[in-house]
Structures are given as structure tokens and as C-alpha cells.
Structure 1
Amino acid sequence: MDPTPPPPNPEQPQSGGNPPGPYQAAAGGPPPPGGGYPPPPGGYPPPPGEYSGYQPYTGRNDLPAPGSGGTNTPAIIGFILSIFGIVLISIVLCIVALSQIPKRGQRGKGLAIAGLVISGLWVVLGGLLVIGLIASYSEPDRDASGQVTTTVKTKPDKLKVGDCITGIEEGTVRDIKVQPCDQPNGGKVFAVFELPAGEWPGLAAVQAAAEKGCTDRFKALKQTPDKPSDVFFLHPIENGWTLGDRTATCLLVPE
């Protein structure tokens, strides 16, 4: 007798074929993005090239508003000092002011610039005065024979034998005017010589040596003046002596 096989179990697949029994399908919405997987928490990020939720960075401005800090003090002081010609201090203060004003939001830039301009004018004026003084004490113009051709102010150490001067007075002589000898003059140089070198011997000793040297040289000339005259002599003072000046100049000056 053939055994009777048990009825097939509909929940167990049979070998050699598809599992029996129907499958139930349920209708639903469109498939979720991503191939059937649910979206991540919070949604999907925006597409490349798009930004969401960020504000553009505009930078930070820490500078105070112009003029909010009042007028800069160095600018005021520098401008005032420039008017009175105190240029070294005024220039420094004005430069400091120009550096401080934009950082502190102060006024006074115009004062600082004006102070620099005025200080510059003082510097130019001072330079012109120095040049003028140097020019005024320059070597006198001379002709081929060495005679002075124009009246000019010069230093005593520029005088040479035969030069004529406009005049001279006792005391300290810092400059002297020479002129052509064919004009009425106030004296004429007849000798120039050097005093002995060495340490400053004192004013009295220098005066005595210069006077003796001039007197001896005038006697050696054996000349008689056309009119009453006195012998004058120029000698260095201590400041000039320390700088190497040893020159004594002898002049015959009408009374």
C-alpha cells in the first residue's frame, strides 16, 4: 500500500519550484527618494553651490567716527610752535598728530599740515640766511694785481697787505668792510704776520705781541703818512686761538 503523503504546507516552499500561494500587494504613495530608503533626519542638504542659513561676513570697523574725539592736542601745540619758529618741536608734534587723528577720530589734520608747512618755511628761510651770511663773508673780488675791486664785508682773516677798509673801531671785530683803495678810505693794511704757536697765553700777552709786531714792522717800512694816523692791530681772541687762528693784522688808520 502506498503511503499517502501529507498535504503540502502552503507556508513552506517546495524544492524545484516557486513557493505556492498568492502574495498580497498593498497600494501606496510614490517611492521615497534615495531608492526606497527613508530621508535622513532633518531633510536633505541643499544642492551644491547653494547656501542656506548663513549671513555674509561684512567685516568689523573699530575706528571711531571722524571728529568724535575732539581736536587733537599735539596738532594745536605744533601749529602754535610753528608760528614762533620752534620748528624742531613743532615738526615732531605735527607728525605725531597726523598719526593719532585717524585712530582716535579727532579733528586737527588741517592744523597739523599747516604746522608742517610753516615749519618748512622757517627752515627754508633759515637756510637762505645762512647762505647769505656765508656769501657776505666770502673772499673779496680782486683784480689781476690783487687789489680789491668792490666794497664787501668780509672776515678780518681775509685781509691782505695793501687792502683798504671803510673804517675800524676798538673792540671785538667780527667782520670788516674792504673797498678799492682809489676811493676815500678809513685805513690800509701794511702788514700781516703769525703769532707764535702754543697754548692760549692770555689776552694781555696776545695784545702785547701783536702791538709790538705791528710797531716794529711799521718802523721797518720807514714811511711817513700823508696825514696824522694811528697804528691799529687785529689779533685773535681765545675762541679763534683754540681753532688755530694766530694771525695778526696791522693797519694804518687816519686820525
Structure 2
Amino acid sequence: MEPTEPPAGPPGPPQRPGDQSGQGQPSPQYGQGTPPPQYGAPQYGQPDPNQPQYGQPGPPQYGQPPYGYPGGQNQLPPQQQKTSVFAILSLVLGVISAIPFAIIFGIVALVRIPKTREKGKGMAIAGIVLACLWLVGIVLAVAFSDSDPERDASGQVTATADVAPEKLRVGDCVAEVQEGEVQDIKVQPCSQPNGGKVYAVFELPKGSFPGLDAVQASAETGCTDRWKQLREQATDLSDIFYLHPTEDSWSLGDHSVTCLLAPR
């Protein structure tokens, strides 16, 4: 027997039945990688660029608004709410004690604000409250000014107080006498240095207001005559003063004249 020559190289892997060597694609050999993927075909572990990934929004679908535009329409900024002019006027007038106008404008503002949807309800309420506080203060001031001063059993004033001129009596002493219209006058005990003393009080004839000049003339004549009737002599150089009613006080029933002797 002739010796046979061994085959060159290591023996290959056994072929499965039905396989034909040399046909189709060659099997990968040891040390060689897998063939490269075909273009456009997604591989395992690689994201598809056409599909949205987790946590990232995908492209907008047909009929859906784009991102960032709610409702598919641009939203206009809301208009700034205006403040009621009547409310502002009510507050300003309430501060400066224009009582009737502050109350009227405040009520108008409270009625209009629900219809016009304006701001200023609090300002209107504040204006009305301020006007009411001014009104209460005036009423209290008038009430205290109309009260009689403190007197002893003989009728002499015992404490200094501001009183209305019609509250003065004969023998009362005042701190100061001023010319012009007088709303209140300070009365005090005669033991203190005073600016005048009441020596006569009388009433003018009732009826319609005769006019300011006629009232002043009647007051001056009446006070001068009554001083002469007293036949008194002033210890110091003095003048006669008189407090007379005005047209407004006349309409309220004030017809009295108060005569004072005041040192110069």
C-alpha cells in the first residue's frame, strides 16, 4: 500500500446534512466579527430616529396643536383692571372732610363697580367711613360746646371751658375777646386774669333777619345804653364789645346780644 498524503491544514467543522459548501454566504470564521448591518435597518440596542424616546416628546400629530401653544391659539395677556374714578373722589373728599360729596361719590362707586368690574371698592368704603367719622366729630364738638360751663351755687364759673356765646351770663369772664364771627369763646373764673367781662345780655326783636348792618347797629346801641344805665366806672381803660347773632344763627332762633367790657 502506498502511503496517502495527509490533508493540508486543520480539518474544518463537519457540515450539516443538506449544506453545500461554497454556496450562499460564507460562515463567519474564528476571529472575524459579524457582518455590518444594512443601511436604514435599526439594530438591537440602537434607537429608531423616527420614534419618540422615553422622556422626549415626539413630533406633533395631525390635528394636534404644536408644543408651547395651548389650545392651538396664542393667548392674549389679560387687560389691566381700572380703578373707579368715583371711588378715588370719595376717598379724597373723605380725607378733606367734604362730608356730603364723599358719601355720595362712595355710594355711586359701590353701585357702579359690580357693573363695570372696576377696582376701588375698598377706597369707596374708606371714603364713606372717613366722612362719617368727620360727621360724628362735628356732632360731638357741637354737643360739648353747647354744654354749660361748670358753676358753683352762686352761678360763678369754676373751670375754664369753651362754650357757645349764647351760654354766657352776666358776670362771666372770658379769656379773650376777638372781633369777627365767633363760634366758641373761652370762659374762665373771674379770679384769673381775663380779657373781658359780661355786663349785659338782651334779646333783639323777633321776626325775619333784618340784615347784618341793622343787627350790628341795634347791638351797639343796646350795649352802650345799658352800660350808661349801670353808672359804673371802669378801673382800667376799656372798650365795649358785643356778640350778636348772624343770619345763620338767627334762623336757628338765636336773637340774643351779649355785651362785654374788655380792657385795651
TM-score, with length taken from structure 1: 0.61
CA deviations 1:125-184 (Å, max 9, x no partner) are 213321342144122222222222222222211111111111112222232111111111
1:222/1:121 Cα in 2 relative to 1: closer, same or farther (>3 Å)?
A: same
Alignment equivalent of 1:144, drawn from 150, 153, 166:
153
Contact 2:91 2:128 in 1 (8 A): no
Question: Which amino acid in the other structure matches residue 220 of structure 1?
Answer: Q
User: Structure 2 matches for 1:9-48, cutoff 5 A?
Assistant: none
CA deviations 1:53-103 (Å, max 9, x no partner) are xxxxxxxxxxxxxx96762x5x53244223312332123212331x337xx
CA deviations 1:7-65 (Å, max 9, x no partner) are xxxxxxxxxxxxxxxxxxxxxxxxxxxxxxxxxxxxxxxxxxxxxxxxxxxxxxxxxxx
In the alignment, structure 1 residue 87 sits paired with structure 2 residue 103: yes
CA deviations 1:202-246 (Å, max 9, x no partner) are 333322322222122222222222212111112223333344322
Aligned residues: 179
Question: Which amino acid in the other structure matches residue 204 of structure 2?
Answer: L
Alignment equivalent of 2:182, drawn from 138, 151, 173:
173
- Of 231-240 and 199-208, the range deviating more from structure 2: 199-208
CA distance in 2, matches of 1:126, 1:156: 24
- Cα offset for 1:192? 0.4
Alignment equivalent of 1:210, drawn from 208, 216, 219:
219
CA distance in 2, matches of 1:215, 1:197: 21
Alignment equivalent of 1:128, drawn from 111, 131, 136:
136
1:167/1:76 Cα in 2 relative to 1: closer, same or farther (>3 Å)?
A: same
1:157/1:68 Cα in 2 relative to 1: closer, same or farther (>3 Å)?
A: same
- List alignment gaps of at least 5 residues for structure 1: 1-66
Which position in structure 1 is the counterpart of 2:127? 119
CA distance in 2, matches of 1:134, 1:251: 24
Alignment equivalent of 1:190, drawn from 183, 199, 218:
199
TM-score, with length taken from structure 2: 0.59
1:163/1:118 Cα in 2 relative to 1: closer, same or farther (>3 Å)?
A: same
In the alignment, structure 1 residue 200 sits paired with structure 2 residue 209: yes
Question: Which amino acid in the other structure matches residue 115 of structure 2?
Answer: Q
Q: Percent identity?
A: 45
Contact 1:91 1:115 in 2 (8 A): no
Matched residue of 2:199: which SS? strand
1:89/1:143 Cα in 2 relative to 1: closer, same or farther (>3 Å)?
A: same
CA distance in 2, matches of 1:119, 1:165: 39
